[in-house]
Structures are given as C-alpha cells and as structure tokens.
Amino acid sequence: MSIRMKLLFSFIAMILIPLVLFCLVVTVLLAVFSQEIVDVNEYYGVGDGRESVQNVKQFFDQRNDLFAGIKFISRYEPDRLVDAAFLKEVDGQFRQVRSGLVIQTDNQILYQSPFLEESNILAQLQRPGAHQKGNHMVKSDGRLFVVEKHSFTFADGRTGTMILVSDSSQLIEFVRKFLPLLILSLLLVIGLTNGVLTFLLSRSIIKPLFTLKHAAEHIKEGNLDHEVRLNRKDEIGQLGATFEEMRSRLKESIQTQLQYEENRKELISNISHDLKTPITAIKGCAEGIRDGIADTDEKRDKYIDMIYKKAVDMDHLIDELFLFSKLDLKRVPFHFEHVDIVAFLQEYVEELHHSPQMNGIQVEFQAANHRIDVIADREKLGRVISNIVDNSVKYMDKAEKQIRFGLVEAEDKVTVTIEDNGQGIAPEALPHIFDRFYRAEESRNTSTGGSGLGLAIVKHIVNEHGGHIWAESELGVGTHIYFALPKPNGISGDE
C-alpha cells in the first residue's frame, strides 16, 4: 500500500474515531450536568425541568425574533415607540423571555420596562458612560445581563435611543462550567487518537528515513560514492531514487567546480601578466635609485613619480579584480530603489563638465522633459556609466572629442545610450569587448587598454539589474554603448 493510501485511511480514522469518542463524551457530560440543564430550563420557564436543551434554544430564538422586530419598528415606524398601548403589549412579550427595554430621548426616559425595575438593572444603565455601543454585559445583583443600545430618529427629527436588556445569567453560568470541560475533552480525544495513529503510521516511514539520513551524512562528509538503495515502490522509494539522482548530480557539480577552478587559475594567470609590467617598472626604478643611477634630484623625483604611478595602476587593477571576483560570485549587495534616470544623468553630466579628465571633451545630454523612473542601485549605476565613459575617453583620437548621452523609453524598460566619436572598434573585436581581460590591443598596454575588466564589470552590474547591454561601433566613426534597465511598473523600490 502506498503512503498516500495509508495517509488517506489515517486521515479518515482521525476524523471518525474522535467524532465517535467525542459524541460519547458529550453524552456523559450531559448526564453529569443533567441537574444544571434542569435548572436552566426552569429558570427560563421553557418546560417542567426535564426537557432537553432544545427548549432553551427555542427560548433564545424567540427572544432574538422579538429583538429583531422592535429594531425593525425603530427604523421604519419609530413613532410607535411612544405609543403606551403598543409598548405595554411589547413589554408583555419581552417579560416572557426575561427581557426589557428602555426608550429615551435627550437624556429623558420615555418608557422603561417594569422588569428592569424588578431586576435593579436600571441603576446600572443610568450610570455615566454605561451605555456603550453594540452588545456588552452588565452585572447586577449577582446576575449577568446582555445590553444592546440602538439609536433611531423620530418623525419630528428627534434622536431616540432604545436599550434592550436580556437576563442571560443562568445560561452563562452553565456555559462557564460546561464549555471548558467540553473543550478539554475534545482536545484529549483528538490528541490521543492522533498520537496513536501517528505512531502506528510513522513506524513504516522512519526506517527508510534513517537510511536517507545516513546517506546524507556521507554526503556531508564529502563521500559522494555512497549509493542510496531503497527497495520500495511507494513515495519514499521515489524519494530515495530522487536522492540518489541528487547525489549523482552533486558529484557532477563537484567535477564542474573543478573546471571552474581551472578557470580561476587562468584568471590568476591573466592578472599576473598585467601585474608583471608595473612591478618590473617599479623594480627598475628602485634599482636605479639604489645603484646611484638617479644621481640628481630631478632624476630621483622622476623615478619616484614613476614608482607612484605604477603603484596606483596596480592598486586600480587589484580593485577592479576584487570587484569583478565578487560580482562573479554574486557577493556584491545591491540596494535597488526607484531612480529618476533623467535627473541622475543630468547630475552625472554636470559632474563631468567640472572633471579635469574631461578637458577638451564636449559632453551632451538631451534630457527628457518628464520624470522617468527605473529600478536601480544608484552607486552601481554610477559605476556602469563611469566605466563606459572612461573607456570612451581612452580611445578618443579626434580634435573635437564628443560624448553624448541619450534615453529611449519603452513600456517596460529604459535604454541608456552613450555615444562617442572615438576611433571605433573592429567588427571582429566587437562581440568580445564585454569579456573579462579582453583588449582590442593585443599588446595589453595598460596606458590605453586598462585592466580589461572595466566593461566586464559593467556587464555583470547591468545583468544583476535585470537588464542587458550591447554595443555598436564603426571604425573611424565612433562607438555606441546601450544598456537597458527595467521600469518599476507598479513595483515598489524595496521589492
């Protein structure tokens, strides 16, 4: 039998068995509380004291019908509530269900049931603040009364108040004794039944689960060769087969990870190549100073400046590598929010106008005349634009140097365009410019080619934004870089 069928039968048993047992418990409790039930029937005058609780139910149904009727009259025929004959007739019906009413207007009592005077509840109702809205309970002379307050409007525009009071003390006392025992009995029946059935069912499940646990411990210790074999055809057998498939795939994943490690080694090889040039230069300058080749202050200053410049290049290269590695491992936190891309680019372009790096370069941005929101991380978005601009500046080769920013708005995204009039990129190199350590110059000259990580970082950041990036270029004319960012479309920045 499958576990599904076992659970189905167990579920049915968990319903039927507690139901039968609970009925037996209720029968016993009714027998134990038979005298209290007799007292309730006699108190409300619904029988000779030996009828069932059904009589009490009919009593309260009658009371509710009377209350509903008088509420209906207060809404549609309010002037009848000042008719003494009508109120006397109604009060006679209320007395039969141990209830009464008070009609008042402008803090003046127009009518009050004699039942309320007999029960001494009227004094409680006349206390300041005693008339709460809705249903509430009031205690008087050791008895509990349910009080309802309703407002209505007479035909002449006066506001009236109707207070309905019903004696529920005997029933409430019975419920206070009977209900806790009933609930406790129900909980005990359900707990015992479910506990026994759960224990019986679990015995056929726990053993194979321990087998799976043992296999999981092998995996935790790094042993991926321990196979899981469960000779079962039920759902746990299927689970064992899935677990075995997971082990097999995890083993394949480890092998793939080893391949990734080879890629890391290649990454280290590339970065080592780029670090070798500045280190060699620093070493040569240091040897020149040590050996006395820099025998004048001018030469020493020149050597020291070269050492500083190469150290700065190395520091920049290491920072780029560190950021790229964290992005590649998805360990860089992103703080997305609604960003007005128009205002963001205007501010960025204004900063470029005051940047010494941009001397002699014309920067333009045709801003839209309305707000355009995107979902972005401000800091990372600035890094994207800076890397693209820096890359454009390195390859400027014309007398009039230009960089233009633009925006193209679509229904669900906004595309940012950055255009320069540099030397352009060869068609065979264009598909690879966003690859790590790729440089169009095979010489790997860091004075122009940089670290080879700038545009790779840009691609990672844009992808993390849920966007995409691409480029178009023509040799001798210039390059266009495009990257698209998602629009909010009703999604909050936190989401």
The answer to whether 135 and 168 are in contact (CB under 8 A) is no
The answer to whether 59 and 40 are in contact (CB under 8 A) is no
- Environment class of 295 (CB within 10 Å of its CB; exposed 0-12, middle 13-18, buried 19+): exposed
CA distances from 459 to 93, 340, 454, 465 (A): 84, 21, 9, 10
- What's the pLDDT at 39? 67
**Tens-digit pLDDT profile for residues 212-229:** 888 888 888 888 888 877
- What's the pLDDT at 118? 67
Domains parsed from the chain with CATH numbers: 38-167 (3.30.450), 256-326 (1.10.287.130), 333-486 (3.30.565.10)
pLDDT value at 342 more than 50: yes
**Tens-digit pLDDT profile for residues 413-426:** 999 999 999 989 98
CA distances from 6 to 15, 236, 239, 453, 473 (A): 14, 13, 17, 60, 68
Mean pLDDT computed over 55-73: 84
Token pair listed for 439: 């440089």
pLDDT value at 133 more than 90: no
pLDDT value at 3 more than 80: no
The closest of 21, 39, 51, 33 to 179, measured between CA atoms, is 33
pLDDT value at 205 more than 70: yes
3-class SS string, 400-448: CEEEEEEEEECCCEEEEEEEECCCCCCCCCHHHCCCCCCCCCCCCCHHH
Whole-number Å distance between alpha carbons of 442 and 303: 28
Three-state SS at 100: strand
The closest of 379, 6, 337 to 204, measured between CA atoms, is 6
Mean pLDDT computed over 383-412: 90
CA distances from 290 to 284, 293, 303, 310 (A): 10, 8, 11, 18
**Tens-digit pLDDT profile for residues 180-194:** 888 888 888 888 888
pTM: 0.46
